Structure 1
Protein backbone atom coordinates (compact mmCIF):
# COMPACT_ATOMS: atom_id res chain seq x y z
CA UNK A 1 0.00 0.00 0.00
CA UNK A 2 0.94 3.62 -0.45
CA UNK A 3 0.33 5.28 2.92
CA UNK A 4 0.57 8.88 4.13
CA UNK A 5 1.30 9.29 7.85
CA UNK A 6 1.40 12.50 9.90
CA UNK A 7 2.94 13.01 13.31
CA UNK A 8 4.17 15.43 15.95
CA UNK A 9 2.84 18.67 17.38
CA UNK A 10 2.28 22.02 15.68
CA UNK A 11 4.07 25.22 16.65
CA UNK A 12 1.77 28.21 16.42
CA UNK A 13 3.71 31.46 16.56
CA UNK A 14 2.95 34.52 18.67
CA UNK A 15 6.05 36.27 17.31
CA UNK A 16 9.37 35.17 15.86
CA UNK A 17 10.62 33.65 19.14
CA UNK A 18 7.43 32.76 21.03
CA UNK A 19 4.99 30.01 20.12
CA UNK A 20 2.41 27.66 21.66
CA UNK A 21 2.59 23.92 21.12
CA UNK A 22 1.64 20.64 22.78
CA UNK A 23 3.42 17.64 24.26
CA UNK A 24 3.26 15.38 21.19
CA UNK A 25 6.67 13.83 20.47
CA UNK A 26 5.78 12.16 17.17
CA UNK A 27 7.10 8.84 18.51
CA UNK A 28 3.95 6.87 17.66
CA UNK A 29 3.91 8.05 14.04
CA UNK A 30 7.61 7.39 13.59
CA UNK A 31 7.26 3.84 14.92
CA UNK A 32 4.21 3.14 12.75
CA UNK A 33 6.04 4.49 9.70
CA UNK A 34 9.14 2.39 10.40
CA UNK A 35 7.09 -0.76 10.95
CA UNK A 36 5.01 -0.39 7.80
CA UNK A 37 7.98 0.61 5.66
CA UNK A 38 9.92 -2.43 6.88
CA UNK A 39 7.06 -4.60 5.59
CA UNK A 40 7.37 -3.16 2.11
CA UNK A 41 4.69 -0.47 2.11
CA UNK A 42 5.44 2.86 0.41
CA UNK A 43 5.42 5.44 3.20
CA UNK A 44 5.41 9.23 3.26
CA UNK A 45 5.77 10.69 6.76
CA UNK A 46 4.86 14.34 7.27
CA UNK A 47 6.47 15.06 10.65
CA UNK A 48 6.92 18.09 12.87
CA UNK A 49 10.43 19.49 12.62
CA UNK A 50 10.82 18.97 16.38
CA UNK A 51 9.39 15.43 16.39
CA UNK A 52 11.13 12.07 16.74
CA UNK A 53 11.99 10.94 13.24
CA UNK A 54 11.50 7.59 11.52
CA UNK A 55 14.64 5.55 10.78
CA UNK A 56 13.80 3.52 7.67
CA UNK A 57 15.70 4.99 4.71
CA UNK A 58 12.89 4.22 2.25
CA UNK A 59 10.48 6.63 3.95
CA UNK A 60 9.79 9.92 2.18
CA UNK A 61 10.09 12.58 4.90
CA UNK A 62 8.40 15.99 4.79
CA UNK A 63 8.78 18.43 7.69
CA UNK A 64 6.39 21.07 9.01
CA UNK A 65 6.12 23.54 11.88
CA UNK A 66 2.67 25.12 11.86
CA UNK A 67 -0.77 23.68 11.29
CA UNK A 68 -1.03 25.68 8.07
CA UNK A 69 2.21 24.11 6.80
CA UNK A 70 0.95 20.66 7.77
CA UNK A 71 -2.34 21.24 5.95
CA UNK A 72 -0.56 22.46 2.82
CA UNK A 73 1.82 19.47 2.83
CA UNK A 74 -0.99 16.92 3.25
CA UNK A 75 -3.10 18.53 0.53
CA UNK A 76 -0.16 18.67 -1.87
CA UNK A 77 0.61 14.99 -1.37
CA UNK A 78 -2.95 13.66 -1.51
CA UNK A 79 -4.05 15.70 -4.52
CA UNK A 80 -0.93 15.03 -6.59
CA UNK A 81 -0.56 11.28 -6.07
CA UNK A 82 -3.01 8.45 -5.26
CA UNK A 83 -2.63 7.16 -1.70
CA UNK A 84 -4.37 4.04 -0.45
CA UNK A 85 -4.57 5.24 3.15
CA UNK A 86 -3.96 8.20 5.44
CA UNK A 87 -2.94 7.72 9.07
CA UNK A 88 -3.45 11.17 10.57
CA UNK A 89 -1.80 11.08 14.00
CA UNK A 90 -0.37 14.61 14.13
CA UNK A 91 -1.47 16.68 17.12
CA UNK A 92 -3.01 19.66 15.35
CA UNK A 93 -3.61 22.74 17.48
CA UNK A 94 -7.31 23.41 18.10
CA UNK A 95 -6.58 27.13 18.54
CA UNK A 96 -3.90 29.39 17.08
CA UNK A 97 -2.75 32.88 18.14
CA UNK A 98 -4.73 35.58 16.35
CA UNK A 99 -3.93 38.95 17.93
CA UNK A 100 -1.46 40.10 20.57
CA UNK A 101 -1.91 43.15 22.81
CA UNK A 102 1.22 44.65 24.36
CA UNK A 103 1.41 48.08 25.99
CA UNK A 104 -2.07 48.97 24.78
CA UNK A 105 -1.29 48.17 21.15
CA UNK A 106 -2.96 45.22 19.41
CA UNK A 107 -1.30 43.58 16.42
CA UNK A 108 -1.69 40.34 14.48
CA UNK A 109 0.29 37.38 15.75
CA UNK A 110 3.08 36.67 13.29
CA UNK A 111 6.34 34.78 12.93
CA UNK A 112 7.88 37.97 11.55
CA UNK A 113 9.44 40.16 14.21
CA UNK A 114 9.92 39.96 17.98
CA UNK A 115 7.55 41.73 20.35
CA UNK A 116 8.89 43.88 23.17
CA UNK A 117 9.10 42.17 26.55
CA UNK A 118 8.72 43.53 30.06
CA UNK A 119 5.02 44.38 30.00
CA UNK A 120 1.78 42.47 30.20
CA UNK A 121 0.92 40.52 27.06
CA UNK A 122 -2.56 39.33 26.09
CA UNK A 123 -2.95 36.77 23.30
CA UNK A 124 -6.31 36.13 21.66
CA UNK A 125 -6.76 32.77 19.92
CA UNK A 126 -8.99 31.72 17.02
CA UNK A 127 -10.16 28.21 16.15
CA UNK A 128 -8.01 26.46 13.58
CA UNK A 129 -9.44 24.54 10.58
CA UNK A 130 -9.90 20.82 11.20
CA UNK A 131 -7.52 19.13 8.78
CA UNK A 132 -9.16 15.75 9.38
CA UNK A 133 -12.35 16.99 7.71
CA UNK A 134 -10.60 17.46 4.34
CA UNK A 135 -8.65 14.19 4.07
CA UNK A 136 -11.26 12.21 2.12
CA UNK A 137 -11.83 15.10 -0.28
CA UNK A 138 -8.12 15.60 -0.96
CA UNK A 139 -7.58 11.87 -1.46
CA UNK A 140 -10.45 11.78 -3.95
CA UNK A 141 -8.94 14.70 -5.87
CA UNK A 142 -5.73 12.68 -6.11
CA UNK A 143 -7.54 9.71 -7.62
CA UNK A 144 -8.38 7.61 -4.54
CA UNK A 145 -11.99 8.25 -3.56
CA UNK A 146 -11.91 4.99 -1.62
CA UNK A 147 -8.75 5.78 0.36
CA UNK A 148 -9.01 4.71 3.99
CA UNK A 149 -8.67 7.49 6.56
CA UNK A 150 -7.50 6.83 10.12
CA UNK A 151 -7.74 9.65 12.67
CA UNK A 152 -6.52 9.75 16.26
CA UNK A 153 -8.36 10.94 19.38
CA UNK A 154 -6.48 11.52 22.64
CA UNK A 155 -8.32 12.31 25.86
CA UNK A 156 -6.97 12.85 29.37
CA UNK A 157 -8.60 11.12 32.30
CA UNK A 158 -11.89 10.76 30.40
CA UNK A 159 -14.69 8.53 31.63
CA UNK A 160 -16.62 6.29 29.23
CA UNK A 161 -19.20 8.96 28.44
CA UNK A 162 -16.56 11.57 27.62
CA UNK A 163 -14.64 9.08 25.51
CA UNK A 164 -17.71 8.11 23.50
CA UNK A 165 -18.66 11.74 22.98
CA UNK A 166 -15.17 12.66 21.74
CA UNK A 167 -14.92 9.70 19.37
CA UNK A 168 -18.45 10.18 18.02
CA UNK A 169 -17.75 13.85 17.34
CA UNK A 170 -14.55 13.05 15.45
CA UNK A 171 -16.29 10.44 13.29
CA UNK A 172 -19.14 12.85 12.63
CA UNK A 173 -17.14 15.76 11.26
CA UNK A 174 -14.20 13.91 9.68
CA UNK A 175 -16.05 10.91 8.17
CA UNK A 176 -12.98 8.86 9.09
CA UNK A 177 -13.06 5.14 8.40
CA UNK A 178 -11.32 4.34 11.70
CA UNK A 179 -10.35 6.17 14.87
CA UNK A 180 -7.45 5.21 17.12
CA UNK A 181 -8.37 6.13 20.69
CA UNK A 182 -5.94 6.73 23.58
CA UNK A 183 -6.22 8.31 27.01
CA UNK A 184 -3.18 10.15 28.34
CA UNK A 185 -3.70 8.83 31.88
CA UNK A 186 -3.05 5.28 30.66
CA UNK A 187 0.13 6.00 28.71
CA UNK A 188 3.46 5.17 30.40
CA UNK A 189 7.08 4.94 29.15
CA UNK A 190 6.54 1.22 28.46
CA UNK A 191 2.86 1.11 27.50
CA UNK A 192 0.74 2.96 24.97
CA UNK A 193 -2.75 1.40 25.23
CA UNK A 194 -5.04 1.93 22.24
CA UNK A 195 -8.34 0.91 20.70
CA UNK A 196 -9.21 1.00 17.01
CA UNK A 197 -12.87 1.86 16.45
CA UNK A 198 -15.05 1.81 13.34
CA UNK A 199 -17.69 4.33 12.33
CA UNK A 200 -20.32 2.56 14.42
CA UNK A 201 -18.21 3.10 17.53
CA UNK A 202 -17.37 -0.59 17.72
CA UNK A 203 -13.95 -1.63 18.98
CA UNK A 204 -12.33 -3.68 16.22
CA UNK A 205 -9.11 -4.39 18.08
CA UNK A 206 -6.90 -3.08 20.87
CA UNK A 207 -3.40 -3.39 22.24
CA UNK A 208 -0.73 -2.05 24.56
CA UNK A 209 2.19 -0.83 22.42
CA UNK A 210 2.97 1.17 19.29
CA UNK A 211 4.39 -1.99 17.70
CA UNK A 212 1.01 -3.68 18.16
CA UNK A 213 -0.74 -0.59 16.84
CA UNK A 214 1.27 -0.70 13.61
CA UNK A 215 0.36 -4.38 13.12
CA UNK A 216 -3.33 -3.79 13.83
CA UNK A 217 -3.48 -0.79 11.49
CA UNK A 218 -2.01 -2.85 8.68
CA UNK A 219 -4.68 -5.49 9.31
CA UNK A 220 -7.65 -3.11 9.22
CA UNK A 221 -6.35 -1.24 6.18
Structure 2
Protein backbone atom coordinates (compact mmCIF):
# COMPACT_ATOMS: atom_id res chain seq x y z
CA UNK A 1 0.00 0.00 0.00
CA UNK A 2 0.97 3.63 -0.34
CA UNK A 3 0.93 5.69 2.86
CA UNK A 4 1.20 9.49 2.89
CA UNK A 5 2.50 10.90 6.19
CA UNK A 6 2.94 14.54 7.18
CA UNK A 7 5.38 15.36 9.95
CA UNK A 8 7.14 18.13 11.83
CA UNK A 9 6.34 21.82 12.28
CA UNK A 10 5.78 24.53 9.70
CA UNK A 11 7.57 27.88 9.57
CA UNK A 12 5.70 31.04 8.67
CA UNK A 13 8.02 33.84 7.60
CA UNK A 14 7.82 37.28 9.25
CA UNK A 15 10.83 38.77 7.48
CA UNK A 16 13.97 37.32 5.84
CA UNK A 17 15.40 36.18 9.20
CA UNK A 18 12.41 35.49 11.47
CA UNK A 19 9.48 33.11 11.43
CA UNK A 20 6.62 31.77 13.53
CA UNK A 21 6.74 28.07 14.36
CA UNK A 22 5.85 25.55 17.09
CA UNK A 23 7.51 22.95 19.29
CA UNK A 24 6.88 19.89 17.13
CA UNK A 25 10.04 17.79 16.73
CA UNK A 26 8.66 15.55 13.99
CA UNK A 27 9.67 12.41 15.93
CA UNK A 28 6.23 10.80 15.87
CA UNK A 29 5.71 11.32 12.15
CA UNK A 30 9.17 10.04 11.29
CA UNK A 31 8.64 6.99 13.53
CA UNK A 32 5.47 6.26 11.58
CA UNK A 33 7.26 6.66 8.26
CA UNK A 34 10.07 4.35 9.36
CA UNK A 35 7.63 1.72 10.64
CA UNK A 36 5.57 1.80 7.43
CA UNK A 37 8.69 1.48 5.25
CA UNK A 38 9.94 -1.45 7.33
CA UNK A 39 6.64 -3.21 6.68
CA UNK A 40 7.14 -2.85 2.94
CA UNK A 41 4.74 -0.03 2.18
CA UNK A 42 5.51 2.82 -0.18
CA UNK A 43 5.86 5.88 2.05
CA UNK A 44 5.51 9.50 0.98
CA UNK A 45 6.78 11.68 3.84
CA UNK A 46 5.82 15.35 3.54
CA UNK A 47 7.83 17.05 6.26
CA UNK A 48 8.36 20.47 7.69
CA UNK A 49 11.85 21.43 8.93
CA UNK A 50 13.29 18.94 11.46
CA UNK A 51 16.67 17.76 12.74
CA UNK A 52 15.83 14.08 12.11
CA UNK A 53 17.56 11.82 9.61
CA UNK A 54 15.19 10.74 6.85
CA UNK A 55 14.35 7.01 7.09
CA UNK A 56 15.64 4.77 4.32
CA UNK A 57 13.43 3.71 1.46
CA UNK A 58 10.84 6.50 1.43
CA UNK A 59 9.83 9.33 -0.89
CA UNK A 60 10.81 12.47 1.04
CA UNK A 61 9.07 15.77 0.23
CA UNK A 62 10.58 18.66 2.26
CA UNK A 63 8.37 21.70 2.91
CA UNK A 64 8.68 24.90 4.92
CA UNK A 65 5.38 26.75 5.35
CA UNK A 66 1.80 25.54 5.75
CA UNK A 67 1.11 26.68 2.18
CA UNK A 68 4.06 24.59 0.94
CA UNK A 69 2.76 21.55 2.81
CA UNK A 70 -0.77 22.09 1.49
CA UNK A 71 0.49 22.10 -2.12
CA UNK A 72 2.62 18.99 -1.57
CA UNK A 73 -0.24 17.07 0.03
CA UNK A 74 -2.64 18.17 -2.71
CA UNK A 75 -0.22 16.79 -5.31
CA UNK A 76 0.64 13.49 -3.61
CA UNK A 77 -2.50 12.41 -1.74
CA UNK A 78 -4.17 10.96 -4.82
CA UNK A 79 -1.50 8.25 -4.87
CA UNK A 80 -2.17 7.15 -1.28
CA UNK A 81 -4.37 4.45 0.23
CA UNK A 82 -3.79 5.83 3.74
CA UNK A 83 -3.06 9.42 4.77
CA UNK A 84 -1.73 10.15 8.26
CA UNK A 85 -1.51 13.83 9.20
CA UNK A 86 0.98 13.99 12.08
CA UNK A 87 2.44 17.41 11.25
CA UNK A 88 1.83 20.38 13.54
CA UNK A 89 0.67 22.90 10.95
CA UNK A 90 0.49 26.58 11.87
CA UNK A 91 -3.12 27.77 11.92
CA UNK A 92 -2.10 31.34 11.02
CA UNK A 93 0.66 33.15 9.12
CA UNK A 94 1.69 36.82 8.93
CA UNK A 95 -0.54 38.73 6.53
CA UNK A 96 2.55 40.31 4.98
CA UNK A 97 6.19 39.25 4.90
CA UNK A 98 8.61 42.17 5.26
CA UNK A 99 11.12 42.31 2.40
CA UNK A 100 13.87 43.50 4.76
CA UNK A 101 14.66 42.62 8.36
CA UNK A 102 12.26 44.44 10.70
CA UNK A 103 14.30 46.84 12.82
CA UNK A 104 13.68 47.37 16.51
CA UNK A 105 11.82 50.64 17.04
CA UNK A 106 8.96 51.11 19.52
CA UNK A 107 8.18 49.15 22.67
CA UNK A 108 5.58 47.05 20.89
CA UNK A 109 5.20 45.47 17.47
CA UNK A 110 1.86 44.31 16.10
CA UNK A 111 1.67 41.45 13.62
CA UNK A 112 -1.49 40.83 11.63
CA UNK A 113 -2.09 37.12 11.14
CA UNK A 114 -4.31 35.45 8.54
CA UNK A 115 -5.59 31.91 8.54
CA UNK A 116 -3.68 29.17 6.74
CA UNK A 117 -5.44 26.65 4.50
CA UNK A 118 -6.69 23.62 6.45
CA UNK A 119 -4.75 20.64 5.07
CA UNK A 120 -6.52 17.88 7.02
CA UNK A 121 -9.89 19.55 6.54
CA UNK A 122 -9.29 19.69 2.77
CA UNK A 123 -8.49 15.99 2.36
CA UNK A 124 -12.06 14.85 1.80
CA UNK A 125 -13.81 17.95 0.49
CA UNK A 126 -11.14 19.58 -1.70
CA UNK A 127 -8.63 16.83 -2.52
CA UNK A 128 -11.31 14.15 -2.91
CA UNK A 129 -9.41 11.60 -0.83
CA UNK A 130 -11.40 8.41 -0.23
CA UNK A 131 -8.80 6.32 1.60
CA UNK A 132 -8.21 5.87 5.32
CA UNK A 133 -7.77 9.32 6.87
CA UNK A 134 -5.94 9.71 10.20
CA UNK A 135 -5.51 13.02 12.00
CA UNK A 136 -3.51 13.96 15.07
CA UNK A 137 -4.77 16.13 17.92
CA UNK A 138 -2.16 17.66 20.25
CA UNK A 139 -4.25 19.03 23.09
CA UNK A 140 -3.65 20.73 26.45
CA UNK A 141 -7.17 20.24 27.84
CA UNK A 142 -10.38 18.27 27.17
CA UNK A 143 -8.35 15.84 25.08
CA UNK A 144 -11.11 13.34 24.28
CA UNK A 145 -13.76 15.97 23.57
CA UNK A 146 -11.50 18.03 21.31
CA UNK A 147 -10.29 14.95 19.43
CA UNK A 148 -13.85 13.77 18.80
CA UNK A 149 -14.76 17.21 17.49
CA UNK A 150 -11.79 17.14 15.13
CA UNK A 151 -12.69 13.65 13.92
CA UNK A 152 -16.21 14.76 12.99
CA UNK A 153 -15.27 18.14 11.46
CA UNK A 154 -12.48 16.80 9.27
CA UNK A 155 -14.07 13.53 8.14
CA UNK A 156 -11.38 11.37 9.73
CA UNK A 157 -11.63 7.62 10.28
CA UNK A 158 -9.33 7.95 13.31
CA UNK A 159 -7.79 10.74 15.37
CA UNK A 160 -4.66 10.08 17.43
CA UNK A 161 -4.78 12.34 20.49
CA UNK A 162 -2.27 13.19 23.17
CA UNK A 163 -1.92 15.65 26.03
CA UNK A 164 1.01 17.90 25.17
CA UNK A 165 0.78 19.78 28.46
CA UNK A 166 2.52 16.80 30.08
CA UNK A 167 6.29 17.14 30.31
CA UNK A 168 7.03 13.40 30.02
CA UNK A 169 5.42 12.89 26.59
CA UNK A 170 4.76 14.80 23.41
CA UNK A 171 6.84 17.37 21.58
CA UNK A 172 10.55 16.84 22.27
CA UNK A 173 10.19 13.58 24.17
CA UNK A 174 11.11 10.21 22.68
CA UNK A 175 8.01 8.79 24.36
CA UNK A 176 4.31 9.35 23.94
CA UNK A 177 1.00 8.18 25.38
CA UNK A 178 -1.95 8.38 23.04
CA UNK A 179 -5.67 7.81 22.62
CA UNK A 180 -7.08 6.25 19.47
CA UNK A 181 -10.32 8.16 18.94
CA UNK A 182 -12.78 6.45 16.59
CA UNK A 183 -16.33 7.58 15.78
CA UNK A 184 -17.74 4.94 18.13
CA UNK A 185 -15.01 4.23 20.72
CA UNK A 186 -11.79 5.43 22.34
CA UNK A 187 -8.84 3.07 22.79
CA UNK A 188 -5.87 4.13 24.97
CA UNK A 189 -2.34 3.03 24.09
CA UNK A 190 0.06 2.86 27.01
CA UNK A 191 3.06 5.14 27.29
CA UNK A 192 5.85 3.84 25.08
CA UNK A 193 8.60 5.01 22.78
CA UNK A 194 7.46 6.83 19.67
CA UNK A 195 9.26 4.13 17.68
CA UNK A 196 7.13 1.42 19.32
CA UNK A 197 3.92 3.45 18.97
CA UNK A 198 4.73 4.05 15.32
CA UNK A 199 4.70 0.30 14.66
CA UNK A 200 1.47 -0.08 16.65
CA UNK A 201 -0.25 2.68 14.72
CA UNK A 202 0.79 1.29 11.33
CA UNK A 203 -0.72 -2.06 12.31
CA UNK A 204 -3.91 -0.27 13.36
CA UNK A 205 -4.32 1.61 10.08
CA UNK A 206 -3.45 -1.47 8.01
CA UNK A 207 -6.43 -3.15 9.65
CA UNK A 208 -8.71 -0.28 8.61
CA UNK A 209 -8.22 -0.82 4.89
CA UNK A 210 -11.25 -2.21 3.08
CA UNK A 211 -11.81 -2.91 -0.65
CA UNK A 212 -13.70 0.40 -0.95
CA UNK A 213 -10.76 2.55 0.14
CA UNK A 214 -7.88 0.49 -1.26
CA UNK A 215 -6.86 1.85 -4.63
Separation in 2, partners of 1:217, 1:111: 42
Separation in 2, partners of 1:6, 1:190: 18
Match of 1:152 in 2: 136
Native 8 Å contact 1:5 1:46 kept in 2: yes
Give 1:127 deviation, angstroms. Answer: 2.5
Match of 1:175 in 2: 155
Separation in 1, partners of 2:110, 2:34: 42
How does 1:1-221 map onto structure 2 within 5 Å?
1-56=1-56, 58-79=57-78, 82-98=79-95, 109-110=96-97, 112-119=99-106, 120-137=108-125, 140=128, 145=130, 147-156=131-140, 158=141, 162-184=142-164, 185=166, 186-187=168-169, 189-200=173-184, 202-208=185-191, 209-221=193-205
Separation in 2, partners of 1:21, 1:212: 27
In structure 2, the residue corresponding to 1:15 is in which secondary structure? coil
Give 1:213 deviation, angstroms. Answer: 2.1
Task: Name structure 1 gaps, 5 residues minimum.
Answer: 99-108
Give 1:206 deviation, angstroms. Answer: 1.3
Give 1:170 deviation, angstroms. Answer: 0.6
Give 1:205 deviation, angstroms. Answer: 4.9
**In the comparison of the two structures, how many residue pairs are matched?**
199
Give 1:110 deviation, angstroms. Answer: 1.3
Match of 1:101 in 2: none
Deviations 1:158-202 (A, max 9, x none): 2xxx123211221121111100011111517453111212123x1
Stretches of 4+ moved more than 3 A in 1? Answer: 137-140
> What RMSD in Å do the two structures reach over aligned CA positions?
1.9
Deviations 1:24-53 (A, max 9, x none): 011111111111101111001011133523
TM-score (normalizing by structure 2): 0.84
Native 8 Å contact 1:27 1:51 kept in 2: no
Q: Which has the larger radius of gyration?
A: 1
Q: Which has the higher contact order (CA 8 A, sep 6+)?
A: 2
